[in-house]
Structure 1
Amino acid sequence: MKDVYLLSGFLGSGKTSLLSHLIEQFKTEGLKPAVIMNELGKLAFDSRAVDDGIPLKEMLEGCICCTGSEKMEAQLQMLLEGEEFDVLLIETTGAAHPVEAMDAVLSPLFASRLNMKGIITVADCKRWLDRDKMTPQTRMLFFEQIKHAHLIVANKIDLLTDAEILNVTMQIQALNDEAPIIQTSNSKIPIKLLKNMEATLHEKEVQEAAIGKQLSLSSRLHKFEEPVDQEAFEDWVRKLPDTIYRMKGYVPLKGHKNPFLFQYAYGMVQWLPEYMKMSPEIVIIGDQVDKLEIIGDVPND
């Protein structure tokens, strides 16, 4: 039996960072992890965080529950038949309902081969404080991801005061009093905390919150035809509406040979130099992204 962990959490919460930390720790223990990553956009930017040599399957353009359990079962079948691994980590898109995603994994086809250990939800503590600014639909999904977790990673506490950390922790615990809460920065948790997890579905009503149903979350691929000024680009980012939750990709900057890896989540940006000539494009995720005016006014695909 191979243990399976499902990583849940809203867009930009820190799931990919958690995935990277867990992969390294499993490898240190002599265990070979395999990964299934689900992207809301057309490009698998997050999958570049997975080391070479790690079996990886990708599901693009939609959450597991919306893409269909048949496609998920096919990915699992290919992993089980074609790869050697000891533990499976599944990172869902930030628009996925965790219970719907877990149901897709719990197929009778794999009952004797996969042991579903549970849902690990990464909760963005900073976003929690401003949850009332979210649309009702996205706020409900945010709550559902926390409500149905077996382990909660209260992430980004380094951005909060001690009083805010206490307040957030108590409020999240009130929403789900069955799951342990681990306070973290950069989603760093020891894998020993995962060993005693058990995926018993909570006796709670599951509210549907899948993309394509109540949610209007969508993704947009934007290609840059010319380098942009970094200061002007960051000024554009600061003026984005609250309904833009996540951006990631490669932005060509004036004065630099290669595009920079760019990440945006909840008002915070990160730039990292890239030493290869990556395609200059970003994926934008949020509500009504088709109406967003992008710097340079370059048409998207």
Structure 2
Amino acid sequence: MTKPIPVYILTGYLGAGKTTLLKPLLGYLKAAGRRPAVLMNEFGSVSVDTLLLQESEVPVVDLPNGCICCTLQGSLKDSLLRLIDGYGPDTVFLETTGVASPVDIVERLLEPELQDRIRLAGVFTMVSAAWFPFTTSSSSEMTVNERTMLEQVQQADVLLMSKTDLVSLENIDHLERVLRELNPKAPIFQVLNGNMDPSKLFEIETHQQKVRVEAKPKSFTRRKVGKVTSTVKQKPTSFGNLETLYYEFEAPVNPDKMYELLYHLPANVLRAKGFYIDAENGLLTEFHHVPSTPVSRAFVVGDFKPFAVMIYEGLDEKELKRKLKACEAVVPVGVKQK
């Protein structure tokens, strides 16, 4: 009888850097002769991150269209078993959408039908040092999204602080104290642009053999901060008050206009990512955005139509689409705009 396959949950709120970390982890395992695979959950109807993992050359199975813990309860088990039976991996990463709580995911992984096939090997939680919004207090009620972020920290076997280069040493120390109060047992590592020693993660495995008990959250106040598969368009999905927008570009995009749009997106847009054809050089370009930090880079040639995905709250979808449309170039590719 084969040993149960270790499954690692990679969680963390929108834009924390989960996929950026996952790529070197996959490379580390492949270099060691392992056969990793990925189960990727996306909040919207398409998975940008699945396309970003193409260069890793590992099997990736999509679970689009929702939060893995609330709309995909049966699909998680079925997709995990299909992944195992179809590709024969010896390690599986389950990268969750940023709005998923690991509490429910752990429960799904402990279903009887999975007990002889997998074992929960660890919950890795990414925490953005630039955007984690809590300081301890006893005065405020929490939103659904705040509660999710809190649970992601509380349920972690390892806490990974990302984007530490964007904040001061004082803020890093402060965040570390908050994280240790929320989860005193999990080791804390800093991750910069996805770089850390992967062996440290794989030395830590959970010994949890039953459903974790959800800790009662303390009250928190918001910390003020400054500013490869499915690409099929589907209806918007929602989680709590969050909604997703999917937009297909009909023409190459002026990169300067796109940068201006991303940089000035309102705070209600929690995440924006996707691909466009750069009108100045004709290259397929990947972009992603968390508040005030848009990034674009040339991407490998793909056979999908360029698109944008936004996760937002309380905004006019038609207006967002109008702004994306306005970024499309009106001159031929290769002719630089002025």
TM-score, structure 2 length as denominator?
A: 0.79
Partner of residue 166, structure 2:
159
Q: 1:205 to 1:175 in 2, by over 3 A?
A: closer
Using the TM superposition, give the Cα deviation of residue 126 of structure 1 relative to its aligned residue in structure 2, in angstroms. 0.3
Judging changes above 3 Å, is the alpha-carbon distance between structure 1 residues 149 and 234 closer, same or farther for their aligned structure 2 residues?
same
Offset at 1:177?
1.1
1:174 — aligned with what? Answer: 181
Task: Assess, with a 3 A threshold, how the Cα gap between structure 1 residues 131 and 262 changes in structure 2: closer, same or farther.
Answer: farther
Question: For residue 274 of structure 2, what is the aligned residue in structure 1?
Answer: 249
Q: CA 1:269–1:204 in 2, change beyond 3 Å: closer, same or farther?
A: same
Paired residues for 1:1-301 under 5 Å? 1-50=4-53, 51=55, 53-128=57-132, 136-193=143-200, 194-200=202-208, 202-205=212-215, 215-274=240-299, 276=301, 278-291=304-317, 293-294=319-320, 295-296=322-323, 298=325
Segments of 5+ residues of structure 2 without an aligned counterpart are 137-141, 218-236, 327-338
The answer on whether the counterparts of 1:153 and 1:187 sit within 8 Å (CA) in structure 2 is no
**Structure label with greater radius of gyration:** 2
Greater mean alpha carbon deviation, residues 230-239 or residues 61-70 = 230-239
The AA in structure 2 aligned to 1:7 is L
Task: Give 5+ residue unaligned stretches, structure 1.
Answer: none
Contact in 1 for aligned 2:245/2:317 (Cα 8 Å) = no
What percent of counterpart residues are identical? 26
- Contact 2:268/2:312 (8 A) holds in 1: yes
| Aligned-residue offset at 1:12 | 0.8
Q: Structure 1: how far apart are the matches of 2:312 and 2:207? A: 30
1:65-120 Cα distance to aligned partner (Å, 9 max, x none)? 12232111111221222222111110000111111112122221121221101211
Normalising by structure 1, what TM-score?
Answer: 0.88
C-alpha change, 1:130 and 1:270, in structure 2 (3 Å) is farther
Does the residue aligned with 1:126 lie in a helix, a strand or coil? coil
Whether the 8 Å CA contact 1:64–1:72 is kept in 2: the answer is: yes
Deviation at residue 245 of structure 1 after TM alignment = 1.4
How far apart, in 1, do the equivalents of 2:251 and 2:51 lie? 24
